[in-house]
Amino acid sequence: MTEIALIGKKIGMSREFFKTGQSIPVTVIKMEKGRVIEIIEESKRGYKAVQLGFGNIKNSKLSKSMKGYFAKKKTEPKNRLKEFRVKSLDNYKEGNEFGLEIFKDIKFVDIKSKTIGKGFAGPMKRHNFGGLRASHGVSISHRSHGSTGQRQDPGKVFKNKKMAGHMGDKIRTMQNIEIIKSDLDNNLLYLKGSIPGSKNTEVLVKKAAKNIRKLTIHEKIELLEKQKKMTEKKKK
């Protein structure tokens, strides 16, 4: 089940308090249940995969081909379709639904979402340039990036040169984000710290690709409590 991912919406940020008096900022994500729309066998495409559907959409907003597709699968129309490659198809059947329970024993996740768009930004804001001198002799170009090219050879500006331009509004991935808690009744997932995007941004949450040996906040608190008990016993 850890091979698949879920899609949710970023509600906003809050704060979680612990017994030790610590308070940790958390991002709250409203998760959607994923329904298995199609099972892709290796004989068809050369690999095993599962297609999941997320969120509902009105039938009137679908194209003719998609109306026929959902009618064929005998399921209600879904807003998003995502395909995930899996090693085995034994645990998946068309019509099955998966929710937050797939993250039950998982401590860290990877998330993918779109960053906040900042519009057209200069090189100082966009790439952290220092700018030109703020003294006499520099005329109306204090925040410019300076020279961008060379001489007659090569006689052009190379691609990917750091310059002013559209900032943000790009899909970014963050790895190894700790799960603070999950609310199965309300389909809410609480992640440590901030994640890219504004409120109502679509977020894809998946099990962390890297196996990191890192203590979670709950494990750290348990260790502290054990140490306190040990010191109290020694005093007695």
Those residues of the chain that have pLDDT short of 70 are 1, 236
E strand or H helix that includes residue 171:
strand 171-183
What pLDDT was estimated at residue 20? 84
What pLDDT was estimated at residue 38? 93
Q: What is the CA radius of gyration of the chain?
A: 25
Q: Within a 10 A sphere around the Cβ of 149, how many other Cβ atoms?
A: 10
31 is written with which tokens?
């998760």
Q: Say if residues 180 and 115 touch (Cβ distance below 8 Å).
A: no
77 is written with which tokens?
């129309």
230 is written with which tokens?
């040990």
E strand or H helix that includes residue 80:
strand 78-85
The single-letter DSSP state of residue 74 is: T
What pLDDT was estimated at residue 1? 61
